[in-house]
Chains A and B, each alone.
Chain A
Amino acid sequence: MSRWRNRNLLIGGAITLAILAIALVSLAWTPYPPTRIDIVHKLATPSAAHWFGTDPFGRDVASMLMAGARSSLSVALIAVVAGAGIGIPLGALAAARGGWVDALLMRATDLAFAFPALLTAVMITALAGPGAFNAMLAIGLFNIPVFARVTRGAALAVRERDFVMAARATGRGEWSIMARHVLPNTSAVLLVQITIQFALAIIADAGLAYVGLGTQPPFPSWGRMLNDAQTYIFRAPLLAVFPGLAITLSVLGLNLLGDGLRDALDPRLTARR
């Protein structure tokens, strides 16, 4: 089997693409407007008219799930991009400079890791108000030390490799080596980390929305749909199933994609599997 045709990559990629496609389609079309309230048809069971039924306000669950994909993906995407955008240069800096810069940055990441992420996110949203933007901020903040650590570790490992040693022998500066040789060779590790963090960000976003701190109504989000559903758990148990499945499926897709990418990009890592 070719490296690029492994099973994880195919399944994970397919799921991720499908969810991405659903999110994009929801921009142009959903079966019903996702925020349209129709009290007369509240708590309908799944049917041809409403594939996944309706919620306590008579909103179409399928449409809400589609729109929810959009909010989940965009929060996670921005949080991860921001986290990587700040974390990767910091990690590279720590690896290139070493010494006190490295020590300081590593202490700072220790400090950040000591705060339970969700707890801090709760404080941030209490401070700045709940909402999608602040959820991105809170999740993004916790991605910074992760990317800094991973980049530093990978960069330090690559720096010891022969071709970097050779470049150094030709008298190139540390920064030029970092940019030309080290970072490109850590991209496999970073790409895999990005998919992992993306999956974690989707869970974190759903968790924040579940406790009422993420994307705000009326715009639908998977986490809040779960919270609402729990209130009706004795009357409409199915409501609690679909949003959770959506979260699980997206995370599963990204995790598989990450595994697949790792296999494809760095066969050495999987030799032992």
Chain B
Amino acid sequence: MSGFLVRRLAGLALTLLAASLVVFLVLQVLPGDPASLMLDAQARPDTLAALRHQLGLDRPAWLRYVTWIGGLLTGDLGQSYTYSVPVAELVGERMMVTLPLAVLSIVLSTGIAIPVGVLGAARRGRPADTAAMGLSQFGMALPNFWLGILLILTFAVALPILPAGGFVGWDKGIWAGLRCLILPSLALALPQAAILSRITRSAVLETLGQDYVRTALSKGLSGQAALWRHAVPNALIPVVTVIGLQFSFLLAGTVIIENVFALPGLGRLVFQAISQRDLIVVQDLVVLLAGSVIVVNFLVDLSYRALDPRLSAQDGP
């Protein structure tokens, strides 16, 4: 197990390093100069040169890369060009929106999908199952940003009970903050729940057909007990995998949903930083997002092993 861990961690670090290099190189060829964006169009060349020097933009690219990576390793994300504050501070503030949004969406989608999936499997072929699977087929086809707009139309325009967008801040109270996240997290969660419920249903059906469940049933175990004691726990492996995979979709999804609902989260920050050519912020954010996807996938791998003893016994991917 420890050999596996070391190998995986080394691979993880290498992947992150490769990711950082890719991002850095891409941004180097991005047309547009952060300094001239910060100044007025009329700015004079000497003013520009002074600003470029202040920002360290006049240093060679390799030196900037090394400084940046060195900083990352010591936990220093650098200083935003446009805001002139540490990037860590910016990211921390935006995280207060994106992280609750992502967590809420995962909770909602899992909370909806697992009962629906299990129900579908238990009532296989009956009207409840057919209806749930039909709905999920439709849900999978819904683009989350359109769902977002529809939710705004319904709950903010027609029945004005929830905000159409924007974020009031947590200091106005937990409920005031959550109110702003209800519609966006629903928009993110429902299409994911549709996929997850189908996966759950077929995973449960699969385990229900396994020999040991049949044996248990033949020994007089009730259908309900067999379902909850054997089929559901064993169906969790594929379900957890999909939840892990969905995390990456969800991060991409927040980028677009934050635009639909005008939420000041990481996704909006990325857009803003790209258009302002606040390169250091873009670099940090992409590595951060890619890093969290890599780490989550790693954790999913680990949880596999916890859920399925056969895998940890053979000690290898």
- Kindly list 8 other residue pairs between chains A and B, CB separation below 8 angstroms, not including A210-B145, A233-B157, A243-B146: A116-B255, A116-B290, A123-B286, A127-B29, A206-B146, A244-B149, A248-B142, A248-B143
Q: Which of A110, A116, A199, A207 contacts B15 (CB 8 A)?
A: A110
Q: Which of B137, B143, B290 contacts A114 (CB 8 A)?
A: B290
Q: Does A97 contact B (CB under 8 A)?
A: no
The interface residues of chain B, by DSSP majority, are classed as helix
| Residue of A119, A122, A210, A272 with most chain B CB atoms under a 10 A cut-off | A119
Q: Which of B30, B256, B293 contacts A127 (CB 8 A)?
A: B30
Interface size on B, residues (CB 8 A): 51
Note all chain B residues with C-beta closer than 8 A to A117: 252
With A117-B252, A210-B256, A272-B206 as given contacts, are A122 and B271 in contact (CB-CB < 8 Å)? Answer: yes
Q: Which of A107, A249, A255 contacts B137 (CB 8 A)?
A: A255
> Chain A, interface size: which category?
35 or more
Q: Which of B138, B150, B274, B293 contacts A244 (CB 8 A)?
A: B150
Residues of B114-142 contacting chain A, CB below 8 A: 137-138, 140-142
| Distance (whole angstroms) from the CB of B100 to the closest CB of chain A | 18
Q: Does B48 contact A (CB under 8 A)?
A: no
Note all chain B residues with C-beta closer than 8 A to A110: 15, 294, 297
Q: Which of A119, A251, A272 contacts B141 (CB 8 A)?
A: A251
Note all chain B residues with C-beta closer than 8 A to A48: none
- Give complex CA distance A247, B299 in Å: 34
**Contact in complex: A233, B152 (CB < 8 Å):** yes
- Give complex CA distance A114, B12 in Å: 11
Q: Does A126 contact B (CB under 8 A)?
A: yes
Ranked nearest first, the 4 interchain pairs of A and B with the lowest CB-CB distance are A244-B146, A252-B141, A116-B252, A251-B141
**Contact in complex: A116, B248 (CB < 8 Å):** yes
Chain A's closest residue to B208 (CB) is A272
A-B contact pairs, 26 of them (CB 8 A): A111-B22, A113-B248, A114-B291, A116-B290, A118-B253, A119-B251, A119-B255, A123-B30, A123-B274, A126-B275, A127-B29, A199-B141, A210-B256, A226-B146, A229-B149, A230-B152, A233-B149, A233-B153, A240-B153, A241-B150, A244-B143, A244-B146, A248-B143, A251-B142, A251-B143, A273-B205
